[in-house]
Chains A and B, each alone.
Chain A
Amino acid sequence: MFWHNFKNCTAVILKGKTTIFWTLIFPIALATFMYMAFGNLMEKEEMFHDINVAVVSSDEESQLMYVIDSLSEGDDSLLNAEKMTEEEAKKALSDETVEGIIFADEVRLTVNENSADASILEGILSSYKQNEYAIKNIIEEMDGMPDEAFIRTLTDDIMADVSYYTEQSVSKGNQSLYTNYFYAIFAMSCLFAAYSSITVTGNLQANESGRGMRKCISPNSKLVFILSEFFSLLVIHSVVEIIAFLYMKKVLGIDFGDKNPEILLTLFAGCMIGLAIGFIIGAVSNIGMEGKIGIVTAVGLGLSGMADLFVNGVKHAIEQHVPIINKINPAALITDCFYSLNVYDDNSVFFQNIVIMAVESVVLLLIAFMMVRRNKYASI
């Protein structure tokens, strides 16, 4: 009987193509839009690239010009400096083709807005002034005029470009915060699998549909109905999520790391919990189909919103203040699986999340079963 129901449910869902189509199109379309909007945002906003700067100077041989030229040369250059007249420089700044104007004679800077690039430019000019001040200060405070060799040692030290730090990275994974949005798309898409399960649960209740009436008078156990239909939907939605994942990874080229089997397990567990939520909403017999759709939308969007779908950082803020919510919220668990696979070296957090999702799914399914079994209807 299990397989008979499994096959029938699969056929019903696949023949109702629209729901499946939109369940698949939804994450793919959203991911595409987000990729078009966020694709290069980390590269543009956070990563350092040579800063375009206009230089206005009347003395090409000044010390500062020498510093600027040396910072504009070589593989580890910081600046892309171009000498201009004041008018040209102002026009370039207003057209935003340069980040700032360095007035070399006055060691002064004009920038369009407060930004990291502006601070880097300011740091370069300030550093020049600071070194000049320090050397003067040392000479002034010394007894007698220091010899030329000593002054040369000091200036050589300044120009030596020594780094006192060693840069280290603690994670090999994708460090773009914007990837959180793609994790949240998967979370929402998995939770929206609930649309299918409310339809299926409607077919189990005599007050909802003709199919429900027939199933209610059949001698089959409701548990068999629920389990067979649950597994049928689980297979279909897992395939849908895998297609969406392959699209994001292969076509859009989003970096989810290389732990593909674990990611597939996450999607499987995500569909499980999404469907289980749908079963429990669908099992409430005194709410109409429209109401159930509304609840699924509200639950899916609400939980995914708490897992960074709309605003990045919500999940992290919850983690800092009420971490228990993230340990229960299925959308947060799904995104946390992706996050932990991407950032951490070991999989302990990932497995912990999978176990919580599995337990939640089983509990929700059992409650749904308790709600639909032995229902009696005074009048239909």
Chain B
Amino acid sequence: MQVFKMFFKVLNRYKGQMIMYMCIFCSLLTIFIKSNSGSKANEYADEKCKFAVFDYDGSTASKALISYLEGTNVRVDKKDGIKDEKISMQNALYNRDADVILRIPEGFEEKLVSGEAAGLIDAITIPGTKNSMLIESDLDGFINMTGMYIKAGYDMATATERACTALAETAEVSLPDGENVSKHSNLYTFFSYLGWVMVCMIITGITLVLQVFERKELKDRIECSSYNFLNFNKEVVLGMAATGALICGVFLTVSLILLNGQIFSEKGGMYILNMLCYAAVCMAIAFLISKLTAKKEVVSMIANVVSLGMAFLCGIFVPVDFLSDGVIKIAHFLPAYWYNQAAINIDFHLDEKAGSIFSAMGIQILFAIAILIAGMVADRRKRA
């Protein structure tokens, strides 16, 4: 098992990059899992938008308006330190710290009473966004209602109070019967992002080792040695498989730690099966790249282009619903798409779409075989 041992000796020299990708993956996963930790939405909840407000009137009307908006939306200027300065507003709006920044001018209340309040409040926003529309409609609703009560003869304090009571009336909203399936589980998030990082790790690990075996002097020495050619190839393949298994093992350990043993379930078993199929594809890609280039410097760039490319186009980084039809058609020719489709179906429709899940896994294996053959052809051509 000389070659097998040598495989891991060389791999040991390149473990740094693999560990680095693992660390990036774990950090990202921790962020995503924390942000995804809320319970699934089974009841309708109104969308709350973020607003900042600068009140230069300080009147009963302006205070009541702010109080109403604070109840229906989220006020952010105090927490995020947004100031009534251009740069501060530019930063707040671009970074979505606030959806709208309101400026209530002096004399607002008097103009409201005299019916001249139209267009009076400055709403600084990114024009045309849904969130700005929501706050602006809340603002219009309150002022309109208060104005109506004032016209009916109420004083400002009573008018704003009655307006708030009227605005508390809401229409009944329901979600369709059954579980809301718009939110993915943490198990899915973990295995979906695996579709990106596993390619990086396997390419940066295995390709660099295979490149060493491809070095001319080393290859010539091995070929003229008494070591059986078949045994050499067997041990290299065994080394690749062992590396793949090792990486899968590390991922499973990480999933145990991050997801508190959720992996011990029927869904978990299917995710593991899907991961093994994808690992076979990644190893085939690593093999192909080792036959296409002998430059160590470019392996990292190729790994990033291949992994990030598939992650963006196949629904790993951006949900498939947001991708255009053209992109989805292209994605059908990439193995990560089938990996991700299997993961989505495992998450949402394990029982109903078991056939599709196994088909997606089968397609991944076919991809692995096709890529492996492409690597062999590239090798044959190089030798010729």
| Chain A residues in the interface with B (C-beta under 8 A) | 18-19, 22-23, 25-26, 29-30, 33-34, 36-41, 44-48, 90, 93-94, 106-120, 122-123, 125-131, 133-134, 137-138, 142, 153-154, 157-158, 162-171, 175, 177, 192, 195, 199, 288-291, 293-295, 297-298, 301-302, 305, 310-311, 313, 316, 320, 339, 343-345
For window 21-51 of B, CB contacts with A under 8 Å fall at 24, 28, 31, 41, 44-47
Interface size class on chain B is 35 or more
User: Are A165 and B119 in touch, CB under 8 angstroms?
Assistant: yes
Chain A proximity mask over B108-147: 1 for CB below 8 Å, otherwise 0: 0000000001111111111111111110111111011101
User: Are A36 and B125 in touch, CB under 8 angstroms?
Assistant: no
User: Are B293 and A40 in touch, CB under 8 angstroms?
Assistant: no
- A162-B144, A294-B14 known; A112-B123 Cβ under 8 A: no
Q: Which residues of B have CB within 8 Å of A19?
A: 295, 297-298
Q: Knowing that A19-B298, A165-B121 touch, tell me 6 more A-B residue pairs with CB under 8 angstroms.
A: A137-B166, A163-B118, A166-B119, A166-B123, A298-B20, A343-B91
Chain A proximity mask over B305-332: 1 for CB below 8 Å, otherwise 0: 1001100110001100011101100100
Q: Which residues of B have CB within 8 Å of A169?
A: 124-127
Q: Can you report 18 residue pairs joining A to B where beta carbons are below 8 Å apart?
A: A18-B293, A19-B297, A29-B309, A33-B309, A106-B172, A110-B176, A113-B180, A116-B130, A123-B137, A125-B173, A127-B137, A133-B166, A162-B118, A163-B118, A164-B120, A166-B120, A192-B301, A311-B28
- A33-B312, A111-B173, A343-B94 known; A297-B17 Cβ under 8 A: yes
User: Are A30 and B182 in touch, CB under 8 angstroms?
Assistant: no
**Contact of B54 with A by CB under 8 A:** no
Within 8 Å by CB of B134, from A33, A47, A119, lies A119
User: Are A122 and B173 in touch, CB under 8 angstroms?
Assistant: yes
Q: In the complex, A94 Cα to B317 Cα: how many Å?
A: 25
Within 8 Å by CB of A126, from B95, B126, B169, lies B169
Q: In the complex, A285 Cα to B87 Cα: how many Å?
A: 46
- Least Cβ–Cβ distance between B347 and chain A, in angstroms: 16
Within 8 Å by CB of A167, from B118, B127, B169, B330, lies B127
User: Are A46 and B129 in touch, CB under 8 angstroms?
Assistant: yes
- A48-B130, A106-B172 known; A36-B327 Cβ under 8 A: yes
Q: Which residues of A have CB within 8 Å of B304?
A: 26, 30, 301
Q: In the complex, A130 Cα to B139 Cα: how many Å?
A: 14
Q: Which residues of A have CB within 8 Å of B162?
A: 134, 137
- A134-B148, A157-B148 known; A111-B175 Cβ under 8 A: yes
Secondary structure of the B side of the interface?
Answer: helix
**Contact of B254 with A by CB under 8 A:** no
- Least Cβ–Cβ distance between B334 and chain A, in angstroms: 11
**Contact of B64 with A by CB under 8 A:** no
Residue among A33, A111, A118 with the most chain B CB within 10 A? A33
- A19-B297, A34-B312, A45-B322 known; A168-B172 Cβ under 8 A: no
- Least Cβ–Cβ distance between A98 and chain B, in angstroms: 12
User: Are A343 and B136 in touch, CB under 8 angstroms?
Assistant: no
**Contact of B171 with A by CB under 8 A:** yes
